[in-house]
Amino acid sequence: MHGKALINEALKGNPVERTPWVPYTGSQIANLKGYTAQEMFRDADKLYECCIEAESQYSPDGMTPMFDLQVEAEILGCDLAWYDNTPPTVCSHPLEGELVIPTRRIQKTDGRIPLILDVMRRFKAAKPDIAMYGLVCGPFTLASHLRGTNIFMDMYDDEDGVKALVAYCEEVVREVAEYYIEAGCDIIAAVDPLVSQISPDMFETFLSGPYTKFFASMREKGMPSSFFVCGDATKNNVTINCKIWATPPRTSNPCASPGPTASPSTKTSTSWKPKSSRTPTASPFPATSSSPSPCCSARSRTIKRPPSN
C-alpha cells in the first residue's frame, strides 16, 4: 500500500505498514528546476514543472502543489516582499491602524488562486495516486497578517474584536478550501504557525470555536483534513480543543495520530483567563515575545506586561 490509499488508512486510524511520507514541498522545490522561488510562486507552468520534479525525486505518498501562507493575505490587501530563496513575506497590515472586520470574500479569480487551481488540476491528472494536499492559511495567522502584531495586545484589550476577526478569517479560508476541493484535492490542511505562540487558554478562547467549525465543515463534505503548526503545539491539545475527530481513531497504530485521549485538565498553562474571569493583575503575555517562524511573516517585537491595577 502506498500513496493516497496509505494516507487515507492512516487518517482513519487504521493499522498501516509504515508511516506515510508527506514531504515539505515549498519554496525549495524551485531549485529542482533552476528557478527562483519568486518565479515559481508566480508562474503556473514553472510551479507545475517543479511539482512534477519533486514527486519524481521524493517519491511521496502525498504532497501539496503550493505552500505559501501569504496567498489569502495578498488578496485581502497585504503587501508582499518577494525573495529568490524563500516564500514572500507580508510587509504591510491593512488593519494595523484600526481593528475593523472586513467584508471582502476571496473569489476564484482573485490573486494567485487561478494559478493554484490550474496547477492542482494538472497535478491531479498527472499523479492521481498521490494524495494532493490543499493548504490554506490558518485563521489566526491570517488574522495576524491583517492586523499585525497588535493582535496579541488585542487579545487582552479587545477580545470580542479578535474573536470576530478570527471568525471572519475562518470563513474566508473555508471558502478557499472549497475551491481546492473542487480542483481535486484529497486532503485539506489548515496551516497556522502562530498557534505555537499562544497559551492553551488563549487557544480555547479564540480558536477552539473557529477550528471546530472549520473541521466540521470538512467532515460534512467527506474531506479528510489535517492541522499543521510550526513549533510546539502539543501544549494546546488541538485534538481536544478543536474536536477534530468525528470519532476517536484507534490508538493501537503507532503510525497514526492517537486522537483525543488526554484530558483538557492537562493544559500546561493556566495563567491566562478570559477577561470576564481575570483578576486585575493577570496577564496573557510573557515578558517578551519570541520571533515566529519565518513562514508566518509576522514581525517580532518586545511586548511589555500590562500595568497592574
Answer whether 226's CB lies under 8 Å from 263's CB.
no
What's the rounded Cα separation, in Å, for the pair 165 and 254? 38
- Give the pLDDT confidence of 63-109 residue by residue, as tens digits: 999 999 999 999 999 999 999 999 999 999 999 999 999 999 999 99
What does the block give as the cell for 174? 473555508
pTM of the model: 0.78
Q: How far is CA 258 from the centre of its chain?
A: 20
Where does 59-196 have alpha helices with state H?
71-75, 113-126, 139-147, 150-157, 159-182
The H or E element that residue 80 is part of is: strand 80-81
DSSP assignment of 245-296 equals -SSPPPSS-TTS---S-S-GGG-S--S---GGG--TT--S--SSPPPPPGGG
Which amino acid appears at position 138 of this protein?
G
Single-letter amino acid, residue 228: F
Cross-strand bridge partners of residue 137: 191
CB 187 within 8 A of CB 133: yes
List per-residue pLDDT tens for the chain, 309 residues long. Answer: 789 999 999 998 999 999 999 998 999 999 999 999 999 999 999 999 999 999 999 999 999 999 999 999 999 999 999 999 999 999 999 999 999 999 999 999 999 999 999 999 999 999 999 999 999 999 999 999 999 999 999 999 999 999 999 999 999 999 999 999 999 999 999 999 999 899 899 999 999 999 999 999 999 999 999 999 887 767 666 555 555 544 334 333 333 333 333 333 323 333 344 444 443 333 333 333 333 333 333 333 333 334 444
Asked if 12 and 59 touch (Cβ cutoff 8 Å), the reply is no
Quick one: cell of 84?
529568490
User: For residue 120, what are the contacts with CB-CB under 8 A and spacing of at least 6?
Assistant: 65, 66, 132, 134, 180, 183, 184, 185
Contact indicator for 70, 297 with CB cutoff of 8 Å: yes
Residue recorded with cell 497590515: 93
